[in-house]
Amino acid sequence: MNIAIFSFAHMHAYSYARSLKDLPGVTLKVVADDDVERGRQAAETFGARYVRDYQDALKEPLDAVIVTSENSRHAEMTVAALQAGLHVLCEKPIATRIEDGHRMVQAAHDAKKLLQMAFPMRYNIPAARLKQQLDQGRLGRILLMNGTNHGKNPGGWFIDPVLAGGGAVMDHTVHIVDLMRWYTGSEVREVYAEIDTRFHPIGIDDTGLLTLEFENGVIAALDPSWSRPQRSFPTWGDVTLEVVGTEGVTHLDAFAQHLVLYKEIAGQAQHLGWGDDPDLRMLESFIACIRAGTPPLASGHDGLQATQVALACYESARLARPVKISQ
Amino acid sequence: MGFVHAQAWQAIPEAQLVGLVDTDPNLLKTLGESIGVSGFPNLDTALREVDVDIIDICLPTHLHREAAEAALAAGKHVICEKPLALSLKDARAIIDAAAAAKKQILVGHVLRFFRVYQKARQLVLDHTLGQIGTIKTFRGGSYPKGWHDWYGDPAKSGTLATDLLIHDFDFLMWCFGPVERVYAKSLAGHITGAADHVLASLRFKSGPIAHVEGTWAYPKGFSYAFEIAGADGLIHFDSADKGPIHTLLRSGSERNASVEVPESPVEISPYQAELAHFLEVITHDALPVVTAEDGYNALAVSLAVRDSIQSGEPVLLPGRTGGES
Ligand SMILES: NC(=O)c1ccc[n+]([C@@H]2O[C@H](COP(=O)([O-])OP(=O)(O)OC[C@H]3O[C@@H](n4cnc5c(N)ncnc54)[C@H](O)[C@@H]3O)[C@@H](O)[C@H]2O)c1
């Protein structure tokens, strides 16, 4: 199975490339990147061929493409790859505009190819175990959820409104909304969001506190802010979720499986994870779905639904009132 | 432990669990039926009735040697729960029997298959922490309920030093090599019943010093923790810290009744990884991650700790795989 990675703009590309190396019968053939320096280096590190223009890569004998470019470029690359008859794993958020997301989903449908969204939290073992328990009715009926996906300011194109399409709310809302949708089997019906820039001197939002309501009545809150202190916080951020049901309460702390390391030269404590690697499991599943011709665990549709929530939050914050999402 | 191993075997596609041996017919019936495996009242019958490659011994420790020797004499590979045996003489006899039968043994020092211990060891070996000064470990909780209270009989369990602390002794020797001397104190006899709580001090030949604490005297629960401090860094871990999944369930009709369930799931449990490793070992005739000699050496340290508790004196360890005691 031959894979190309379209752009190393998103740092997750490195983790995906490493994961591919661990999968039998899978080869990273091509790295396409318009940043010559970055692309060449990545291609060399992972033993792939470098091309500058992704269009040139489409002529190669490939089976699938991983799109890890800047958010606003997902649509163009994904649609081109699907039209060339390739399966696609696309980094979240699916796109920066809803129309783009629709085009991507349609292109996958027309080409009869896989469009999987990179929602690795569905492959995080504790989060997946909780899904199993909820499906077995362990907490009874879900009533309320409160989640966080904190982070630090990633800088670079992530804080460029055109390339990223939004700041912290765009970057971090979708992971938790996807988990919430997965757990409840319901869609977000209404959002209320307070959004601002209060942590960093940047021209994009880094602060968001979101209030959601699902079609099945579940109420939820979510904090996607880049609010963790850049240097002194011991890890990149977190994924946590409180789930309140009729029969009990569960707290999920998806990255709690870590050691704490204090190292003098690092100047800060560090968390060193020892749990299963969700990226590896996600890539494994992507390849398995291609081989078996089965649908992905998180599809383009899931990506679209989650991004729609993030975009509605921006709208709500702009209007300072709740915004309904029409399905 | 037999139940934990049975579940782990059943999760391994390359393995087939074909028989359970236990003297308790009720247990054989309920467990055997729930997992669909035949039960046998003793090893001899099982060996006659089913064709097996591996005998996995999860018996109370005083029965390890007899079962291991019988299995090896029948030409089977053996997995033996820790401690390998209760005396160095018995441990050596098992190792010799394996050599004579040309079969492999794996001692169940399962910490070597816990990710968090593997990660800690890696940080020691790759010098992230620099020169190691001290290691502190904790393991324990409430008093274990065993078959006819065998844990409470030193002639059967060898006491907490051999039964529980041997996990940490093996882990520490895996990281730091042989132990030079030990000194230890215990609450045995000073608290109710057979409960025990031990503090052991270990000096490694390679330099580091360890304090190893183990208890069967807590009111409830079970947890483990460690801290490794080096010149360049420090790591710590405590399984009692809030894990990735923490659930409070309403229970019964009482208004405030609840049960608390903490969980830290991994894709492949350490027990499954341990057993799957042994399959690899016997398939490729490879050296196991835990050798029988490792099991012997961990027992030697445990016995030295017990001796120190009794004598009140430091005890020097003979060289690795040294003299019999
Ligand atoms: N690796 C670990 O983490 C760990 C944890 C607990 C126990 N262990 C070890 O596992 C072993 C078993 O401990 P346990 O807690 O499961 O003990 P247990 O008392 O719970 O179970 C022992 C079983 O052996 C059966 N039995 C007793 N005599 C027998 C005989 N002659 N023939 C067949 N069956 C017989 C009993 O009926 C009982 O079902 C011990 O060596 C212990 O040290 C290891």
Which helix (H) or strand (E) is B213 found in, with range? strand B209-215
Nearest C-alpha of chain B: how many angstroms from A262? Answer: 5
pTM of the predicted structure, to 2 decimals = 0.89
Do B163 and B252 share a structural domain? yes
d(CA B185, CA A118) in angstroms, rounded, equals 54
Size of interface A-B (CB pairs under 8 A): 93
A252 — contact with chain B (CB < 8 Å)? Answer: yes
**Left if phi > 0, otherwise alpha if psi is -120 to 50, otherwise beta: which for A138?**
alpha
For residue B322, the model assigns a pLDDT of 41
A129 — contact with chain B (CB < 8 Å)? Answer: yes
Residue B246, strand partner residues: A251, B262
Domain endpoint, select from B41, B76, B110: B110
Contact A126 B241 (CB under 8 A): no
Residues of A in contact with B264 (CB under 8 A): 126, 256-257
For residue B288, the model assigns a pLDDT of 97
Q: Which A-chain residues 260-319 have CB contacts (< 8 A) with chain B?
A: 260-265, 272, 274-276, 281
For residue B325, the model assigns a pLDDT of 41
Cβ atoms A38, A26 nearer than 8 A: no
Kindly state whether residue B270 falls inside one of the protein's structural domains.
Answer: yes
Contact A257 B264 (CB under 8 A): yes
Do B83 and B120 share a structural domain? no
Do B183 and B236 share a structural domain? yes
**Average pLDDT by stretches of 10, chain A with 327 residues:** 98 98 97 98 98 96 98 98 98 98 98 98 98 96 96 97 98 98 98 95 96 96 94 94 94 97 88 96 98 97 98 97 93
Assign residue B71 the CATH number of its domain: 3.40.50.720
A248, A254, A264: residue with CB nearest B244? A254
Domain endpoint, select from B54, B84, B110: B110
Contact A256 B243 (CB under 8 A): yes
Residue B183, strand partner residues: B201
Do B284 and B224 share a structural domain? yes
d(CA A154, CA A166) in angstroms, rounded, equals 13
Nearest C-alpha of chain A: how many angstroms from B268? Answer: 9
Do B59 and B36 share a structural domain? yes
Interface pTM, i.e. ipTM: 0.85
Contact A264 B232 (CB under 8 A): yes
Atom 20 of ligand 1, nearest CA residue: B146
End-to-end CA distance of chain A: 37
Supply the CATH classification number for the domain A121-278+307-324.
Answer: 3.30.360.10
Kindly state whether residue B122 falls inside one of the protein's structural domains.
Answer: yes
B119, B120, B265: residue with CB nearest A125? B265
Contact B234 A126 (CB under 8 A): no
Domain, as residue range, for B286: 111-316
Contact B116 A274 (CB under 8 A): yes
Do B88 and B12 share a structural domain? yes
Which pLDDT tens digits describe chain B residue by residue (325 residues)?
A: 999 999 999 999 999 999 999 999 999 999 999 999 999 999 999 999 999 999 999 999 999 999 999 999 999 999 999 999 999 999 999 999 999 999 999 999 999 999 999 999 999 999 999 999 999 999 999 999 899 999 999 999 999 999 999 999 999 999 999 999 999 999 987 777 778 999 999 999 999 999 999 999 988 899 999 999 999 999 999 999 989 999 999 876 555 667 888 899 999 999 999 999 999 999 999 999 999 999 999 999 999 999 999 999 999 998 544 444 4
B206 — contact with chain A (CB < 8 Å)? Answer: no
Q: List ligand 1's pocket residues with C-beta within 6 A.
A: B 1-2, 21-24, 27, 58-61, 63, 81-82, 108, 110, 146-147, 150, 163
B75 phi, psi to nearest 5 deg: 80, 30
Do B261 and B208 share a structural domain? yes
Domain endpoint, select from B110, B137, B164: B110
Residues of B in contact with A129 (CB under 8 A): 245, 263, 265
Contact B119 A265 (CB under 8 A): no
Nearest C-alpha of chain B: how many angstroms from A244? Answer: 10
Residues of B in contact with A130 (CB under 8 A): 245
Interacting residues of A5 by C-beta distance below 8 A, sequence separation 6+: A13, A16, A17, A28, A30, A31, A32, A42, A48, A65, A66, A68
Chain A residue with the nearest C-alpha to that of B245 = A252
Kindly state whether residue B86 falls inside one of the protein's structural domains.
Answer: yes
Kindly state whether residue B282 falls inside one of the protein's structural domains.
Answer: yes
Query: In terms of DSSP bridges, do strands A188-196 and A142-148 run parallel, antiparallel, or are they unpaired?
Result: unpaired
In chain A, where are the structural domains located? 2-113, 121-278+307-324
Residues of A in contact with B233 (CB under 8 A): 261-264
Do B92 and B133 share a structural domain? no
Kindly state whether residue B134 falls inside one of the protein's structural domains.
Answer: yes
Do B139 and B100 share a structural domain? no
CA distances in angstroms from A110 to A83, A84, A99, listed in the order given: 8, 11, 16
B242 — contact with chain A (CB < 8 Å)? Answer: yes
CA A276 to chain centre: 18
Q: Identify the CATH assignment for A2-113 out of 3.40.50.720, 3.40.50.300, 3.40.1280.10, 3.20.20.80.
A: 3.40.50.720
Kindly state whether residue B308 falls inside one of the protein's structural domains.
Answer: yes
Nearest C-alpha of chain A: how many angstroms from B248? Answer: 5
Residue that is written with structure tokens 């280096």 in the block: A41
Interacting residues of A110 by C-beta distance below 8 A, sequence separation 6+: A82
For residue A170, the model assigns a pLDDT of 97
Contact B115 A248 (CB under 8 A): no
A22 — contact with chain B (CB < 8 Å)? Answer: no
Kindly state whether residue B324 falls inside one of the protein's structural domains.
Answer: no
Assign residue B180 the CATH number of its domain: 3.30.360.10
Contact A260 B236 (CB under 8 A): yes
B235, B236, B245: residue with CB nearest A252? B245
Do B171 and B102 share a structural domain? no
For residue B191, the model assigns a pLDDT of 75
Residues of A in contact with B119 (CB under 8 A): 259, 272, 274
A129, A265, A274: residue with CB nearest B263? A129
Number of domains in chain B: 2
d(CA A12, CA A68) in angstroms, rounded, equals 7
Kindly state whether residue B125 falls inside one of the protein's structural domains.
Answer: yes
Do B89 and B235 share a structural domain? no
Do B65 and B184 share a structural domain? no
